[in-house]
Structure 1
Amino acid sequence: MALLRPATLDDLPAVTRICTLTGDDGRDATGVYDDPELLAQLWAAPHLVADPALATIVVDDDGPAGYLVATADTVSFEAWCERMWWPALRDRYPLQAPRRDRDQGLVALLHTPEATPASITDAHPAHLHINLLPRAQGLGLGRALIERLLGQLRERGVAGVHLGVSGTNKPAIGFYEHIGFAPVAVEPDGGLIMGRSVT
């Protein structure tokens, strides 16, 4: 039986592991990258550190099985990352060091992160990242995680939320559309930005 509970910074290793095990369009990314923990350093860990109150962990009989991390204000979060998160990672992962192309793409992102455009953040200022291990999928937990976040964002007076999803991850796109998200932008790599109103 799975349950949702508020996350704490002690959950960071579990969040990193789940991010790795789902980091290749929902599949295990361990063999795809030389350093798959970079995925979590980009898209999960900073959210948990910056605003743990918006982070939720799924726990079942076998331990942590999923998470949702989020920020209520993407613009402020990106500024926080520039001050507090990226500098240490840039020192740890110098841009010029030799590495595989896929790893180099992640390192390039932390050295030159893209700012989310106002065309997205004006209507959807919050954003989220969610991952569930296969054993936790198909149980309604993804919907429950997002509904929990929507309630938290309403309490903060946030108007809308967005997320990114790979353009090739058709099951995820279908799931998000089913719970009220719609495409609001297409990224250069074919990924979708999907958003929905919080109210």
Structure 2
Amino acid sequence: MVRPARRTDFADLARVAYDTGFFGESARLYFPDETLFADLWIRPYVPLALPGFVALLEGRVVGSILGAHDEGAYEAAIRRVAPALALRAAFGGYPKLPACLPYLARLARYAVPHASPHAFPAHLHINVLASARGLGLGARLLDAYLDSLRQAGVRGVQLSATRRNEAALRLYESRGFRVHEARVTPLWRPWTGRDETHVVMARSL
């Protein structure tokens, strides 16, 4: 079952994102603070009313797709939540923050590429738990999200992935996404032992 994401899904969205945040596996290896992970990469979507969908299996959230219809709105949402995150960090709300700094520093140094927000204003992130893969849930999530973009009159959408995730790339290509830019990056080298190829994929709607 796939349904629209709700604000009350926040904990489940954070759990699924964290459990798949390292090339489909747990993000704990490179980002030990699960709470900070959720606040950085899930909470900004709350001011946007969580424009996305969740996949349920036996009543449990096992997959999600989140995004924004407009990059400017997403950047504004980040600015709105940033003061609360900074305050929480200042008062020790992220006890494992020091162990996350190596990744955050590398992310700032090795920024991933993006397509033009004018041509492709929307973006998306899709995650499916390992235990729920192979059931077609990723395709159903992606189809639902693309339909919502079309209904909203959005002109194009982009996403970021890596060459390592071959199954995801095949799914995106089957829905009309094409590689807009590919860039070899040392971002992940401390945790994978090698450079990875980031790809930006985009499609018009």
TM-score, structure 2 as length reference: 0.79
**Shift, 1:111, TM fit:** 8.8
Matched-pair contact (CA < 8 Å) for 1:15–1:45:
no
1:183 to 167, 175, 179: 179
Number of the residue aligned with 1:60 = 57
Q: Pairwise CA RMSD of aligned residues? A: 2.8
Q: What is the identity, as a one-letter code, of the residue corresponding to 1:87?
A: P
Structure 2: how far apart are the matches of 1:106 and 1:18? 20
Q: Which amino acid aligns with 1:148?
A: A
Deviation of 1:131 after TM superposition, in Å, equals 0.4
2:153 is paired with a residue whose SS is coil
For the Cα contact (< 8 Å) 1:68–1:130, is it kept in 2?
A: yes
Task: Find runs of 4+ consecutive structure 1 residues off by over 4 angstroms.
Answer: 105-112, 114-117
Correspondence for 2:204: 197
Q: How much has 1:141 moved relative to structure 2?
A: 1.4
SS in 2 for 1:191: strand
- The letter for the 1-side match of 2:69 is A
In 2, are the aligned partners of 1:74 and 1:116 still within 8 Å (CA)? no
What amino acid is the match of 1:54?
P
Inter-partner Cα distance in structure 2 for 1:15 and 1:109: 25
Distance 1:110 1:50 in 2: 24
1:10 aligns with 2:8: yes
The reply on whether 1:153 has 2:149 as its aligned counterpart is yes
| Offset of residue 143 of structure 1 | 1.4
Matches within 5 A, 1:107-118: 107-108=104-105
Task: Encode CA deviations 1:28-71: one digit per residue, 9 max, x unaligned.
Answer: 22344221343333333322x02236221111116110111111
Question: Mind listing any 5+ residue stretches in structure 2 that lack a counterpart?
Answer: 91-95, 186-196
Shift of 1:21: 0.6
Within-5 A mapping of 1:114-153: 119-153=115-149
Query: Residue 89 of structure 2 aligns with which residue?
Result: 93
After superposition, what is the alpha-carbon deviation per residue over 1:53-95, rounded to whole angstroms, capped at 9, x for unaligned? 622111111611011111100122112312x11222233336x
**1:168 aligned residue (164, 178, 197):** 164
Question: Cα distance, 1:115 vs. partner?
Answer: 10
Give SS of 1:120's match: coil
Distance in 2, matches of 1:78 and 1:59, equals 29
The alpha-carbon distance between structure 1 residues 62 and 30, as it changes in their structure 2 partners (threshold 3 A), is farther
**What amino acid does structure 1 have at the position aligned with 2:2?**
L
Q: Is the 8 A contact 2:48 2:74 kept in 1?
A: no
5+ residue gaps, structure 1, are none
Tell me what 1:72 maps to: 69
Among all aligned residue pairs of Structure 1 and Structure 2, give the percentage whose two residues are the same amino acid: 31
1:25 aligns with: 23
Q: 1:86-124: CA deviations, max 9, x gaps?
A: 222233336xx9723xx1155459999x7986x521111
1:159 Cα deviation (Å)? 0.7
Contact 2:48 2:77 (C-alpha < 8 Å) held by counterparts: no
